[in-house]
Every structure is written in C-alpha cells, then in structure tokens.
C-alpha cells in the first residue's frame, strides 16, 4: 500500500490485503483519508433495495466482453483456485507448521500463486526468492501471515464485509487489470463511494504493482494530478500540477 501523508490527511492505494487496509482507513477515518485508489475489489452485486437507480442502470446496460471475462475468471478461481483460502481460514496453524518447516514447501505454496495469478509475468529468480525470504526469515515466521484469513472470517462484527459498502466522503479510483482474481462489472464499484477515476488496462493481473508498475503509477498521476478527480484533496499537496 502506498500512503501520502500531509498534516493528518492521507490518500491511499492498495490491492488484495491493501484493498482491506485502504478501505478500513476510509471507513474509520473519513476526515483524514481523503481519497483512495484500488486495483482489486471484493464487493457484492448492487441490490434494488439499497441502490434502485444503479440497479436499474445495471440491468439496462449490457456487459462488455472484458466484464464477462472478469466474471468467468472469478468463477474459475472460486471453483479451482481458492482452496488455500479455506485452509488458512479454518486451520491456519496446521499448514503453518509445514510452511515453517519446509523451505521447498513454502516456495511451492507461494510460487503457485505468483504463477497462476499473474498475467504471464516472467518472474525473475531474485524476485521469487525475495518473496519467499520475506515470509521465511521474518521474526514472526511464515505461519503468521495466515492468521489474517482466520481472523477475517471469524470476526463476530464482520467488519471486513463493510469494506465493500458505501463510504460517502472518500473519493474513489479504480484500476482494472484483466487477470485480477476479483473483477466485478464496472457499475458495481459505484456502491463503494463517489467514483472519480476508472481505468481499464489491457494487461496485468493480481500483482499489478510488480507486473504493471508503470500503469499503476499513471493511474495515480491522472487521478491525483491537475484535472484529475481527486486533485487537491490534500491541502497544499496538489499532485503533479507543476510538471
């Protein structure tokens, strides 16, 4: 997650767990979190009870080919690629022992995701080893990273479910990468807050910051730069207007 702070104000960017972090900041501190950009969203289909106008518009708007492909990819992921989530959300410590005990097991566990979730990105050996090393050599150990799955689904307050809901005072930007794991139709994003930026990218997957850093940076330059939908949201930090 990227954060830019200025006198108790912030703008945020995130995907995957960063999506949850950025939305948590917006939900809990809307006076300080002025805007957020996400490249992944976990949201539910708008309902006619909560969003009657948006629901009607959604039903009257045909899905694009990119949206159909995104829905199909999400469905395949739920059917064939999400077993890791169920395991970590129910028995994190069991798999945790294996991750801590076997470097090869940890490598296989992580590299599977790097390979399957990217858009044919050619991972360098050093990049892969850096990912594995961060997990393996951290003070907490690789098992610690799995607890968040258990905690998120066993939270009695179901706070995570609120991250996809409407947050009224925080401007929202969305970068859509075609091989992302969760890629709902574009109109769905409007249930999360005032949408001021949206970009449909032609390549990239779940690891957009690695695969397409140029595209992600350009999103932020456009959204927060002069003429962008979130220009000047942080006082005295006016983006790229002088360039």
pLDDT of 5: 42
| Span 195-243, pLDDT tens digits | 999 999 999 999 999 999 999 999 999 999 989 999 999 887 775 544 4
Percent of the chain with pLDDT over 70: 95
Contact criterion met (CB below 8 Å) for 35 and 172: yes
pLDDT value, residue 157: 83
pTM as predicted: 0.91
pLDDT at position 96 is: 92
Q: What is the reported pLDDT for 158?
A: 84
Query: Cα(120)–Cα(114) distance, rounded to whole angstroms?
Result: 10
Instruction: Write down the pLDDT at residue 195.
Output: 97
Low-confidence ranges of the chain (pLDDT < 50): 1-6, 241-243
């Amino acid at each position: 997650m990227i954060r830019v702070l200025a006198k108790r104000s912030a703008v945020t960017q995130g995907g995957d767990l960063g999506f949850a972090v950025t939305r948590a900041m917006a939900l809990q501190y809307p006076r300080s979190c002025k805007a957020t950009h996400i490249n992944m969203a976990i949201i539910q289909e708008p309902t006619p009870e909560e969003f009657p106008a948006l629901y009607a518009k959604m039903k009257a708007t045909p899905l694009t080919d990119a949206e159909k492909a995104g829905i199909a990819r999400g469905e395949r992921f739920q059917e064939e690629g999400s077993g890791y989530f169920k395991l970590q959300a129910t028995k994190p410590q069991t798999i945790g022992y294996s991750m801590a005990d076997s470097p090869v097991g940890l490598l296989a566990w992580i590299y599977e995701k790097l390979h399957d979730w990217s858009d044919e990105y050619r991972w360098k050996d050093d990049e892969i080893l850096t990912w594995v090393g961060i997990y393996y050599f951290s003070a907490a150990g690789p098992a610690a990273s799995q607890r968040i799955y258990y905690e998120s689904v066993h939270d009695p307050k179901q706070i995570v479910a609120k991250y996809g809901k409407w947050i009224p005072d925080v401007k929202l930007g969305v970068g859509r990468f075609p091989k992302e794991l969760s890629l709902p139709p574009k109109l769905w994003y409007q249930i999360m807050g005032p949408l001021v930026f949206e970009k449909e990218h032609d390549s990239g997957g779940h690891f957009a910051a690695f695969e397409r850093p140029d595209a992600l940076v350009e999103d932020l330059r456009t959204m927060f730069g002069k003429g962008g939908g979130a220009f000047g949201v942080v006082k005295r930090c006016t983006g790229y207007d002088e360039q």
